[in-house]
Amino acid sequence: MASIVNNIAEGAGKFAKPDKSRFYTTAIGSATESAAMLDVCLRRQLIAAEAHEKGKQLLDRFVAMLVKLCRALRDG
């Protein structure tokens, strides 16, 4: 999860659109990795199903926002 935040912060600090987009794209990858880890934690019974679902929903929203941001940088 820290990687998501770190990449968003680093991207926000860049001025060139390609640089911003690269960090935001990396944050998307980190979010999908985090979603996979939530699946692993659920299978190993380290987290409850409710926590798994909430985490996945939050990560889905992060990814959707980051995809929109990357598209805006690309198209704008």
pLDDT one-digit tens code per residue, 16-38: 999 999 999 999 999 999 999 99
In the block, residue with structure tokens 């940088």: 73
CB 73 within 8 A of CB 21: yes
**pLDDT at residue 52 above 90?**
yes
Confidence of residue 1 (pLDDT cuts 50, 70, 90): confident
Domains in the chain with CATH codes:
2-75 (1.20.1440.60)
What pLDDT is stored for residue 41 in this prediction? 98
pLDDT at 37: 98
Residue 76: pLDDT band with limits 50, 70, 90: confident
- 40 with 28: CB under 8 angstroms? no
